[in-house]
Each structure stands twice: as structure tokens, then as C-alpha cells.
Chain A
Amino acid sequence: MDNQIELKNVAFSYENGEEKRDIIKNINLGIERGSFTVILGHNGSGKSTLAKLMNGLYKPTNADGTVLVDGIDTRDEKTEIEIRRKVGMVFQNPDNQLIASVVEEDVAFGPENLGLPPEKTRERVDEALKSVGMYEYRKSTPHHLSGGQKQRVAIAGIIAMRPECLILDEPTAMLDPKGRAEVMDIITRFNRDEKMTIVLITHFMEEAEFADRVLLLCDGEIIRDGTPGEIFSDIKTLKETGLDVPQSTELLYELKKSGIDVDTDAISVEEAAARIYAALHLEEK
């Protein structure tokens, strides 16, 4: 299997005086190239830390833990820039990621740091802005954009560096439903069309719908690993982890509990409707 990112025996802990807090406990994980992985976890489950470990922003705190990006150890300071270029990262708050007061200048920040010639940077900026549908706004100031638009600009800023993998740390947490849909649409498109490896970290289960693989993170450990269908039919574990189960999934779960033979692996309302429809027809026969 061709793994873009590989974590071996990775642990991470904070030391605050005498107190030691383990955030990540011994994780072994491979992220396959071109895959779409969703990491689900409630607040404080260590999901942001896990993301930052993946692009070398944080290093494992245990001696035998290693994180490999394309086979390169993230501990090596010389290859830091190379790793950051390969593994782009988008954060939760778009306001705290934008550096310049003109959209196109902000998107140019990454390529400029890579030392690309101005014409090349220009080309990449235009391309990146078009790919997130923000090209018309290239001269605007981020301050005048909506949250969803700002987050799209932030994504463009990463895309302009041409990463092979995109890690998104709760990119929709501060957005309204419209902005959330825009961002999710872009992410799924990059995965489908560009074969970009996507790691999406979230606590919205609905966003896991399009993933190939869902990981459930709880207190620094991966407690479940499977397809969205597999994970979502296990409502009991999800609830124990403290996650908000989508209403449609919960409805199916309750129906099943009260004796109706229905599949519980649906996430969206449409899917749930189809499952209920199928179950009703089965009973008639």
C-alpha cells in the first residue's frame, strides 16, 4: 500500500511543570495516497494535535515515535519546508490564516516563500483562486468577504503551493451552513478530480459522508477505523464518544431499536428516506 503519511508509535504529551498530559497515545496509522480520510472526535480528543503531527508542526514526544511524509522523517529540520509544501494545512479560523489585506497577495504568500519567479507565482495564484471560485474577488480585502469565502481564500493559499496532501483542521467549524457546503464541495472536488490526499478533521459527522475512511478518535486513541457506513451504523460507540449523531441516522437507529428492519448506515436525509422506503416495502411483501 502506498502511504502518503505514516505514523509509527506516535505519542504526544504536554509537560506543564510536574503535570504531564498525554494528548496522543501510541498511534499507528497510514494515510493512503489519494484517499479521503475523516478523523472524527469531540473537543479535547487530540484531533488538532494529530493534524499538526502530520505536517511536522509538532514532533512526537516519545523517542521511538516517527512520522513519515513520503518516507521523510518530520524530525529532520532540513526537510521541514519540503514537508510543509507537500502537506498543506488549513485551520479553523480563516481570520487568523490570512496575512495580506488583498486576496491575491495573500494567496501569493506561499509561492513567494518558496522563492518562485513572479510570473510562476502569478500563474499559480490565478489558478488556485479559480479552483476555489474566488477569482473575481482577487482584488478585494479579506475583511469584506463572508466566512465561507475567507476560508476558500485560505484554501487557495495552500493550493497555490501545489501540495500533494491537504489536512483540514475543522475548516467549517466557524462557518454558516452555506459556507460549510461551499468548503465541503471544494474539498471533495480536489479529492475526486486532482486525486489529492485529504485528511479532514471535524466533529460534524455529516461531513464524513464522502470519505473513503473514517477514524474515530477518543482521548488520543483511535477507537474505530472503517468506512462511513460501518462507523455510522455503530451509533452506540458514537454516542459514547460524545459526538452529535446526525438526526437522520439517529431516526433509523431508533426505528431499528423498536423492531423495524431498517439499515442504519445512512447519513443524509435523502439516504435515510430511501432506507425507510425500502424497509416499508419489505414489510408489505
Chain B
Amino acid sequence: MLKDITFGQYYEGGSFIHRLDARTKIILLILNIVFLFLAGNYYSLALCSIFTAFVLTLSKVPARMFLKNIKTILPIIIFTSLLNLFYGTGGRVLFTLFWKLTVTTGGISRAVFITGRIVLLILISSLLTYTTTPNDITDAIESLLSFLRVFGLRGAVHVLAMMMTIALRFIPTLVEETEKIMNAQKARGADLENGKLLDKVKALIPILIPLLISSVRRAYELAEAMECRCYNGGVGRVRMKRLRFSLRDLIAAMGNALCCGGVIAFNILL
């Protein structure tokens, strides 16, 4: 039930992709997304597909995990492709539905292209969360944002990272607590499932208020515990775990660069 919700969907493994530095993965993901949008024709999109398929196989994460992700956003894919199908112009007119809704070959081509792009986008993005623990992602973001230090925002970066760490740590605890409160309210006769939308929203109030109060109390206790462990806002703090770039990251970056170069070349030449 609720307990099964995990933030991020880490899939344990020891593949090449798993062992990449989290920072490398984030940067390359951004790069990949940019180039997915730059890919202007079928040839470059095909190149992107081949590359994505290669990387996905390399991660050894089962295909059904990725399919599951695609399935959840299937409505969005269908909606976007339908929109593109009717709005796309050019090519022969195949048939006209009622009013002015015409389907052209150009429209079909465009819909297929956009669908391909969205699917690739989702596949490559889910790869990051499947192969990287939330903690590593947090550390990587802290490290990547550390350039903000130059602008005197060192404190802000640290606070952001600390907030993410604590949020991650407390998600299961708060989920458990929510379940407890829900059961307690149900035992007192609360009806959480039936009724109109408004009734359902109203039924949430007796759950959210105790949860909020207990969270504030937790925060207070946690702050005291952190103070007892010599925390003073991150001044002079030295992390035990350090992210390290290795040869592996260089190989991954070069592989990616090749793919990106290919996309540009195909865009221009074909």
C-alpha cells in the first residue's frame, strides 16, 4: 500500500551505468535531453534511439521497469500525438474527419516523430532514478551547485542539500505516520472512501492536521538532536563520502559526445 511508495525508483545493480558518478549522470542526462530536442529528422532521432537502447541495455535494469514508466504517462503520449496528428500539415491529405480535421501524411509523420521523442525522453530520464540512489542524486546536486559559492550562496546550497537529505529520510516515516492516523480516524468512524469529491477533501482534514502537528514536533526534536551532534549550519563540515570522477565517467562522456556529434551531422547532412 502506501508503504510501497518510494521516492525515486532505485533498482539495485552493479552495472557500468550504476557505477558512474552521479554528477556525470545528471550532466549527461541534461545533454541527452537537449540533443533529443535538437534532433531534427528521422535519421538523427534513430541515432538517439540506438544510443538510448544501448545505454538501457547496459544498465541491466529489466525492460518491464521502463515499460511501466511509459504506461503511466501513456495518456499524455496519446494526447500529444493526436494533437500533432491533426495539426501537422504538409504532404498528401489522406482523409478529412468532420469539420476541418484533416489527416495528412505530414501529420502522421509529425505525430510519430514527437511520440518517439517523448518516449526516448522518458526512457533516458528514468534511467537516472533507476541507477542512482536518491542520496547520490542529492550529493551530486549539492556538488554541481557548489559553483554558486562564488556568488556568496554557499549557505543556500548547503541548506538546500540538507533539506533534501532530511526530506528523503523522513518520507517513509511520515507515510507510516499517515497510515497510523488514517487507521485511528477510521476506527473512530471516519469515512475516507465514499462521498463526493468535496466530502473526500473534507475527510482529509482530520488526517492532515494531526500529521502537521506531529511533523512540527518531530522537526523540533530533530533540531535538538542535530545540535547535540555538533551541527552548526554546515560551517566547517567535511563530508565522509566524496564523489569521484573516474575513467568510467570519461568513457561515458565520450560515448555521449559521439552520439551528440552524430545528431548534429545527421541534422546538417541528411
Give residues in A with beta carbon < 8 Å to B: 52, 55, 57, 81, 84-85, 88-89, 91, 93, 95-102, 104-105, 108-118, 121-122, 125, 141-143, 154, 157-158, 161
Interface residues of B in 92-112 (CB under 8 A from A): none
- Most chain A CB inside 10 Å of its own CB: which residue of B172, B173, B237, B238: B238
B166 and A161 within 8 A (CB): no
Give the CA-CA distance A81 to B227 in the complex, in Å.
Answer: 9
Interface residues of B in 159-200 (CB under 8 A from A): 165-166, 168-169, 172-173
Known: A101-B168, A101-B169, A142-B169. A91 touches B224 (CB 8 A): yes
Give the CA-CA distance A109 to B166 in the complex, in Å.
Answer: 12
A117 and B238 within 8 A (CB): yes
Residues of B contacting A142 in the complex (Cβ-Cβ under 8 angstroms): 169
A115 and B238 within 8 A (CB): yes
Residues of B contacting A110 in the complex (Cβ-Cβ under 8 angstroms): 229-230
B169 and A98 within 8 A (CB): yes
B239 and A118 within 8 A (CB): yes
CB distance from A123 to the nearest CB of B (A): 10
Cβ of B225 < 8 Å from any Cβ of A? yes
B236 and A157 within 8 A (CB): no
Give the CA-CA distance A116 to B236 in the complex, in Å.
Answer: 9
- Most chain B CB inside 10 Å of its own CB: which residue of A99, A111, A114: A99
Query: Given A52, A84, A99, A121, which contacts B230 in the complex, CB threshold below 8 Å?
Result: A84
Give the CA-CA distance A154 to B66 in the complex, in Å.
Answer: 37
Query: Given B218, B232, B236, which contacts A96 in the complex, CB threshold below 8 Å?
Result: B218
Cβ of B245 < 8 Å from any Cβ of A? no
Cβ of B74 < 8 Å from any Cβ of A? no
Known: A113-B237, A117-B238, A143-B172. A97 touches B222 (CB 8 A): yes
Cβ of B64 < 8 Å from any Cβ of A? no
Closest to A123 in B: B240
CB distance from A244 to the nearest CB of B (A): 25
B135 and A100 within 8 A (CB): yes
Residues of B contacting A154 in the complex (Cβ-Cβ under 8 angstroms): 225
- Most chain B CB inside 10 Å of its own CB: which residue of A81, A91, A95, A161: A95
Interface residues of B in 226-258 (CB under 8 A from A): 226-232, 236-242
Instruction: Decide if the interface of chain A is mainly helix, strand, loop or mixed.
Output: helix
Q: Can you list 10 A-B pairs with a CB-CB distance of less than 8 A?
A: A91-B224, A96-B221, A99-B226, A101-B134, A109-B226, A110-B229, A113-B229, A113-B232, A117-B238, A122-B240
Query: Given A97, A102, A143, which contacts B225 in the complex, CB threshold below 8 Å?
Result: A97
Closest to A102 in B: B135
Give the CA-CA distance A182 to B161 in the complex, in Å.
Answer: 34
Closest to A114 in B: B230
Known: A105-B135, A121-B238. A113 touches B165 (CB 8 A): no
Report the 5 A-B pairs with minimum CB-CB distance, sorted nearest first.
A96-B221, A97-B225, A121-B240, A143-B172, A108-B240
B230 and A105 within 8 A (CB): no
B231 and A109 within 8 A (CB): yes
Residues of A contacting B218 in the complex (Cβ-Cβ under 8 angstroms): 95-96
B228 and A105 within 8 A (CB): no
A112 and B238 within 8 A (CB): yes
